[in-house]
């Protein structure tokens, strides 16, 4: 016995080109929809990962204009604003704080770098707290410092490549002419750590002749109220707080406008595809009035005709949806590249994250909206009066 699906399938094949064009419309809208949903999720995941990879979500530094400080450093490494090491103690006891690490950033002028000289930047980090803050860093060679006051350095991947350094080689801190032994070279991480030269905090303090620090990195406890902690930190004298959560929110706001526009386009594409579905199925129904009339005279109930026509919609939406989702999977990498070209800031990793769960969700949306679109043509078909339709067609 021939099934309802077989009849619906054959009906769709009667007008192949019309069916194909409708399928293409559904396929494209599914592609756009699943890619957009994948982007929403992928971008947020990637941004969160980037911020987690910073190792800390909050940074405390001395009050002052960062532009001015940057300019001063570029002109010769002077004029940095420092904070006292004791500031760490006043932060670490706060209930929202998970971990704290003190950092000293120093820039030294290297007259032998290029024609007019250049700046070499060093990060003094605490061997007891900094590596634990960044457990995701992997070493290509060697490891962290063995001693809190060792004359040693760990180089980011690109810094080592640029200077052609390997573990065991020496580097020379410009201006101060202090030699440091390279004890570790990091794997490429895709972050700013790649271009950084780390050395023990106390070593760098000794080189720079200061007992102060420039920055405190703070990792907030999971689920803790970051805003409350920020407010508490602002009460500390002469410091400013840079929150990566704020940075993240700012970036998310920046892309929100673009996301709304793309979402609107996706909805419009979906609507156009569904109008196509209505058109295809309705035309098919109108062309088959006589046939539907005959089916009714043979005992088919309005519900049977409704289900038959609705099945055509279901087949169209399912096939188009599967093809669109397949394309989204196949071209996810290309979509990723295109998105990267237009975004003001693109974090590392996959920006368009599509998985089976998302694919099934999109499929449900496409089929759901498609079936709703098919209600009217199916209803029209179901209420055909058999004798009238046979007489009219005759």
DSSP state of 168: T
The nearest distance, CB 67 to another protein, in angstroms, is 6
| 145 φψ region: left (φ > 0), alpha (ψ -120 to 50), beta (else) | beta
* 53: nearest Cα among 111, 121, 138: 138
Residue 242 bridge partners (DSSP): 59
d(CA 46, CA 205) in angstroms, rounded, equals: 35
Asked whether 242 and 67 are in contact (CB, 8 A), the reply is no
- Of the two residues 18 and 140, which places its CB atom closer to another protein in the complex? 140
d(CA 231, CA 241) in angstroms, rounded, equals: 9
- Of the two residues 159 and 352, which places its CB atom closer to another protein in the complex? 159
The nearest distance, CB 3 to another protein, in angstroms, is 59
Binding mask 99-118 for another protein (x = CB under 8 A): ------x-x--xxxxxx---
Pick the piece of the chain touching another protein (CB under 8 A) from 17-25, 157-165, 231-239, 370-378. Answer: 157-165
Rule CB under 8 A: say whether 193 interacts with another protein: yes
The nearest distance, CB 113 to another protein, in angstroms, is 6
The number of angstroms, rounded, from the C-alpha of 336 to the middle of its chain's C-alpha atoms is 10
d(CA 384, CA 394) in angstroms, rounded, equals: 15
Pick the piece of the chain touching another protein (CB under 8 A) from 134-142, 194-202, 267-275, 340-348. Answer: 194-202
DSSP state of 33: H
Binding mask 229-268 for another protein (x = CB under 8 A): -------------x----x---------------------
Q: Which of 215, 280, 362, 389 binds another protein (CB under 8 A)?
A: 215
d(CA 151, CA 174) in angstroms, rounded, equals: 14
Rule CB under 8 A: say whether 326 interacts with another protein: no
Q: Which of 35, 196, 280, 313 binds another protein (CB under 8 A)?
A: 196
203-218 in b/e form (b: 16+ CB < 10 A) is bbbbbbebebbbbbbb
Rule CB under 8 A: say whether 377 interacts with another protein: no
The nearest distance, CB 280 to another protein, in angstroms, is 52
| E strand or H helix that includes residue 186 | strand 178-186
Site residues for another protein per CB under 8 A: 59, 61, 66-67, 69-70, 73-74, 105, 107, 110-115, 121, 123, 156, 158-159, 161-165, 169-172, 174, 177, 179, 191-196, 215, 242, 247
């Amino acid at each position: 016995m021939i099934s309802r699906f077989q009849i619906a399938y054959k009906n769709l094949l009667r007008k192949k080109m019309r069916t194909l064009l409708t399928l293409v419309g559904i396929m494209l809208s599914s592609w756009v929809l699943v890619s957009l949903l994948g982007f929403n999720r992928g971008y947020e995941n990637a941004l969160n990962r980037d911020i987690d990879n910073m190792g800390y979500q909050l940074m405390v530094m001395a009050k002052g204009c960062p532009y001015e400080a940057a300019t001063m450093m570029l002109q010769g490494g002077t004029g940095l604003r420092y904070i006292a090491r004791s500031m760490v103690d006043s932060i670490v006891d706060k209930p929202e704080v998970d971990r704290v690490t003190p950092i000293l950033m120093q820039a030294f002028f290297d007259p032998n770098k290029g024609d007019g000289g250049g700046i070499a930047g060093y990060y003094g980090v605490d061997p007891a707290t900094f590596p634990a803050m960044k457990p995701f860093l992997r070493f290509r060679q060697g490891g962290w410092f063995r001693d809190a006051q060792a004359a040693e350095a760990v180089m980011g991947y690109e810094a080592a490549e640029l200077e052609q350094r390997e573990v065991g080689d020496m580097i020379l801190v410009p201006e101060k002419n202090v030699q440091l032994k390279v004890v570790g070279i990091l794997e490429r991480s895709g972050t700013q750590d790649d271009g950084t030269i780390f050395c023990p905090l106390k070593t760098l303090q000794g080189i720079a002749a200061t007992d102060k620090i420039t920055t405190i990195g703070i990792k907030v406890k999971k689920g803790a109220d970051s805003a409350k902690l920020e407010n508490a930190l602002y009460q500390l004298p002469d410091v400013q707080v840079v929150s990566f959560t704020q940075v993240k929110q700012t970036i998310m706001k920046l892309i929100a406008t673009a996301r709304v526009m793309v979402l609107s386009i996706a909805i419009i594409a979906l609507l156009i595809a569904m109008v196509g579905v209505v058109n295809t199925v309705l035309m098919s129904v109108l062309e088959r009035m006589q046939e539907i009339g005959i089916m009714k005279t043979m005992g088919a109930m309005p519900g049977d005709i409704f289900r038959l026509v609705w099945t055509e919609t279901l087949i169209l939406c399912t096939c188009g949806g599967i093809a669109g989702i397949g394309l989204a999977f196949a071209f996810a990498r290309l979509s990723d590249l295109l998105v990267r070209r237009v975004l003001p800031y693109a974090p590392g990793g996959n920006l368009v994250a599509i998985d089976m769960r998302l694919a099934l969700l999109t499929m449900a949306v496409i089929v759901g909206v498609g079936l709703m679109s098919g209600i009217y043509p199916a209803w029209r078909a179901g209420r055909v009066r058999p004798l009238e339709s046979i007489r009219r067609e005759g």
